[in-house]
Amino acid sequence: MTAGARDGGEIEALVTDRYLESLLAGGLGGSPAAGLAGLPGRRLSPDIGRAAARLRGDLPRLHPSFRFEERLAQRLAEVAAGLRLPAAAGGEGIVVPFGSPAGAGAGGGDPTAAFLFDAPLDERQDRVRPLLIGGALTSAALSLAGAAYVAWRRTRPPTTPMARAVRAVSRGRPA
Amino acid sequence: MARRAIWRVGQPEEAGRSRVTHLDRDHALVDAARVDPARFEALYRKYLAQVYSYAYYELGDHHDAEDATERTFVAALTNLGRFEERARPADGHGASTFRVWLFRIARNVVADRHRARSRRPETQLEAAEVLTVDPDLAGGVARREEARDAWQAVARLPGDRRRAVVLRFVDEMTTAEIAGVLGRSEGAVRVLIHRALRAVARDLGENRR
């Protein structure tokens, strides 16, 4: 195919495209030439004009049954509920950096952090750590309970023969 | 590289006060659905008939079209976080990139169905007989036959020509939107539709004789 023929084909396609824009916008008023005002000297093939008019009238938009529509709406609602579950488990939580009480109270700090640090917590220097606030409060509570259990357990060493043997070996190991 | 999702309009001297606009007409609905997935329903109701029509014209069977429609919307909902607004000023007022994205999913779902059918032959998909004309079509028998001829002429078109015609005439997409759905340039889409119309004109002309 020559470059001229290819260009000719593209121009014809452009003319058809202009015509369709007007036809589908309902602005032709029955005159195919009206949509081609910006393309002087170019005429739409009458066959293409007739075919386009036929397709416009004979290709309706279809709608599924009401029953199907409602069933799928229900299914999507279930999927949406499933998507919200991870958020409930902490996905929507926000990370609040715990700064020092001095920094928070110096003005210009995060008001949330300032509120949290109204009373001093402890004197350690390494207390800057994130706290997840949101759906993970339950798991945080469980973690606190777990830490308390481990601390309590450490003060009460097991008295089984195996535990005694482990402690004896540990004491006998050179530092 | 992906285009910027938003475009700034307004004078440069309005530094710090420039207006930011989203060209995707579905921007607000998409944002709402991202915050609360239950609000995806608005997008679903808006595009149900369009997606279903596309699937029906492609598959020619109500059950298959329903199945494809369901898969399309479920995939869109579960992957909404991946959707990226890419409307350009050139897409014009009312351009909807969410609609393009949704139809790209529909196109893939329908293609999967086509592949499944080719492995397990059923009805000849491309055969014009698969499209049945609505018996309630106004105008009597002659009108129904005319409509059937047009549907059959479209059903006989090869792949992307048929899809482009359905997206243009049934879903009333712009050339730019069709280009986005089919993954082609706008010029290529114009040529596809022009050639499709020539073929349909020839087909309908032969039927008249």
Window 83-122 of A, Cβ < 8 Å to B: 83-84
Q: Which residues contact A14 (CB under 8 A, 6 or more apart)?
A: A39, B190
| Structural contact between residues B157 and B165, judged by C-beta atoms closer than 8 angstroms | yes
Q: How many domains does chain B have?
A: 2
- Alpha-carbon distance A129 to nearest alpha carbon in chain B (angstroms): 28
B150 has a chain A CB within 8 A of its CB: yes
B47 has a chain A CB within 8 A of its CB: no
Last residue of a domain, one of B125, B144, B165: B125
CB contact under 8 A, B44 and A55: no
The pLDDT > 70 percentage for chain A reads: 49
B37 has a chain A CB within 8 A of its CB: yes
Token pair 């014209």 in the structure block, residue:
B57
Over residues A154-162, the mean pLDDT reads: 75
Structure confidence at residue B17 (pLDDT): 42
On whether both B117 and B150 belong to a single domain, the answer is no
Residue-number span of the structural domain to which B180 is assigned: 128-209
Structure confidence at residue B52 (pLDDT): 96
On whether both B135 and B178 belong to a single domain, the answer is yes
- Alpha-carbon distance A13 to nearest alpha carbon in chain B (angstroms): 5
Query: In this structure, what CATH number is given to the domain that contains residue B89?
Result: 1.10.1740.10
The reply to whether B180 falls in a domain is yes
Dist. CA B172–CA B161, nearest whole Å: 15
Token pair 């279930």 in the structure block, residue:
A78
- Which of B171, B173, B195, B176 has its CA nearest to residue B186? B176
Structure confidence at residue A63 (pLDDT): 92
B9 forms beta bridges with B19
The reply to whether B187 falls in a domain is yes
On whether both B121 and B24 belong to a single domain, the answer is yes
Inform me whether the pLDDT recorded for B5 exceeds 60: no
The reply to whether B14 falls in a domain is no
On whether both B120 and B80 belong to a single domain, the answer is yes
Of A42-51, B15-24, B45-54, B197-206, which has the strongest mean pLDDT? B45-54
A11 has a chain B CB within 8 A of its CB: no
Dist. CA B139–CA B148, nearest whole Å: 13
Tokens of A158: 């097991």
Dist. CA B158–CA A3, nearest whole Å: 25
On whether both B101 and B139 belong to a single domain, the answer is no
Last residue of a domain, one of B97, B125, B153: B125
Query: In this structure, what CATH number is given to the domain that contains residue B168?
Result: 1.10.10.10
Tokens of A23: 């036809």
On whether both B119 and B136 belong to a single domain, the answer is no
**Count of other CB atoms within 10 angstroms of residue A134:** 14
Inform me whether the pLDDT recorded for A70 exceeds 50: yes
Dist. CA B176–CA B184, nearest whole Å: 9
Structure confidence at residue A143 (pLDDT): 64
| Structural contact between residues B198 and A44, judged by C-beta atoms closer than 8 angstroms | no
Structure confidence at residue B126 (pLDDT): 43
CB contact under 8 A, B170 and A60: yes
User: pLDDT tens across B56-87, in order?
Assistant: 999 988 999 999 999 999 999 999 988 887 76
The reply to whether B13 falls in a domain is no
| Structural contact between residues B179 and B207, judged by C-beta atoms closer than 8 angstroms | no
CB contact under 8 A, A80 and B201: no
- Alpha-carbon distance B11 to nearest alpha carbon in chain A (angstroms): 31
Strands B7-9 and B19-21: antiparallel
The pLDDT > 90 percentage for chain A reads: 11
On whether both B201 and B188 belong to a single domain, the answer is yes
CB contact under 8 A, B169 and A17: no
H or E stretch at B68: helix B62-78
User: pLDDT tens across B103-145, in order?
Assistant: 999 999 999 988 887 776 544 444 444 455 555 555 567 777 8
CB contact under 8 A, B37 and A79: yes
The reply to whether B50 falls in a domain is yes
With b for 16 or more beta-carbon neighbours within 10 A and e for fewer, the B146-178 pattern comes to bbbbbbbbbbebeebbbbbbbbbbbbebbbbbb
On whether both B110 and B197 belong to a single domain, the answer is no
Last residue of a domain, one of B125, B148, B179: B125
User: pLDDT tens across B132-190, in order?
Assistant: 555 555 556 777 787 888 888 999 999 999 999 999 999 999 898 899 899 898 899 99
- Alpha-carbon distance B13 to nearest alpha carbon in chain A (angstroms): 30
A73 has a chain B CB within 8 A of its CB: yes
On whether both B106 and B39 belong to a single domain, the answer is yes
The reply to whether B143 falls in a domain is yes
Share of chain B residues as helix, strand and coil, in percent rounded to the nearest 5: 70, 5, 30
Tokens of B73: 């919307």
A6 has a chain B CB within 8 A of its CB: no
B165 has a chain A CB within 8 A of its CB: yes
**Which among B48, B170, B175 has the least Cβ separation from residue A17?**
B175
On whether both B189 and B165 belong to a single domain, the answer is yes
The reply to whether B99 falls in a domain is yes
The set of long-range contacts for B97-101, using a CB threshold of 8 Å and a minimum separation of 24, is B97/B23, B97/B24, B97/B180, B98/B24, B98/B26, B98/B27, B98/B29, B98/B30, B98/B43, B99/B26, B99/B47, B99/B50, B99/B173, B99/B177, B100/B177, B100/B180, B100/B181, B101/B76
